[in-house]
Amino acid sequence: MTADILSAHLPGDRVRPLLEAAEDADGIAAFSESFVQGLDDERVRHTHFLVENGGDVVACAGLAEDGSAELVVHPDFRRKGIGEALARKVRAENPGAGLWAHGNLAGAKALAAKLGLSVSRELLVMGISADDISSGGPELPDGFEALDYVGAVERWGRDAVEKQWLEVNNDAFSWHPEQGGWDLERLHRAMEADWFDPAGVQLLYEGEQLAGFHWTKRHPDGAGEVYVVGLASRHRGEGMGGPLMQMGLNHLVGGGSPQVILYVEADNVPAVKRYLQLGFKVDESHVVYK
């Protein structure tokens, strides 16, 4: 099949049936949360390329300004050169583009080999059953207090809370390609997600200063997620990671989540080791090919 590639602006609803068909076939979503958001939200500033058949979208690629890209081909139209054509189009637009392969399935490996690409980054999905999570409240040192976002805003006001939240986030993730360098607009955009729950943002304070946060997420099937855990650099090495983790886990399990997942960079060996010690196991691998 000849792949005539079209540029598209915010293709949204036209792409969703394609994403659903691919996930049904593969057992894993082809697009991550940010790339799904980019289908409709102009602020995300993604570029999109489509392949159509009879008016239906049978393949789509999204390209972010930072060079990350994701692509999906309908199960009925695979092994026809469409994925390769889309990947080459993305790399023509940005020669340094990194192609995400969620689940690193056989088709993605074959395409990467054909294009001469290799894995440049690996993101692990780790999971644990709620039954295997230790119960009990986090043990906080004297002078520390746990609040959720709602309680903190009631005490200090939204502006003050979000200012410190951003400061701790950008301090903790200065090295991270997606989570670092956030501003208030980026935070508010994330808080617009359908799943966002203010009570699910657990905040750890030392007096009036935010020491760290555990932002949780609950999926439609009830599963919980350790979405983001950030600790201010001034508190590293003080044993605060454990209490922060427990705060979020207690919130998720207390709300009925039967299991909890998290995402972690595979090369973050200390973090992976810590999660394994807590009882998490590796469920999936997501990689970037360059």
Q: Which residues participate in the annotated binding site?
A: 33, 71-73, 178, 217, 225, 229-231, 263, 268-273
Task: Check if the beta carbon of residue 289 is closer than 8 Å to that of residue 112.
Answer: yes
Strands (DSSP E) found in 5-85: 5-8, 47-53, 56-63, 68-73
Q: CA 10, CA 289: separation in Å to the nearest integer?
A: 25
Q: Measure the CA–CA gap between 203 and 201, rounded to whole angstroms.
A: 6
Residue 13 neighbours by CB distance under 10 Å:
10
Degrees to nearest 5, angle at CA 218 with 213 and 223: 120
Residue 81 phi, psi dihedral angles, 5° rounding = 85, 0
DSSP 8-state secondary structure symbol assigned to residue 207 = T
- Sequence-distant (≥ 6) Cβ neighbours of residue 44 within 8 angstroms: 34, 37, 38, 64
Bridge partners of 72?
A: 60
**Which residues are known binding-site members for acetyl-CoA?**
71-73, 229-231, 268-273
CB contact set of 213 (below 8 Å; sequence gap of 6+): 165, 168, 169, 201, 202, 203, 204, 228, 229, 230, 244
Q: Phi/psi of residue 110, each to 5°?
A: -65, -40
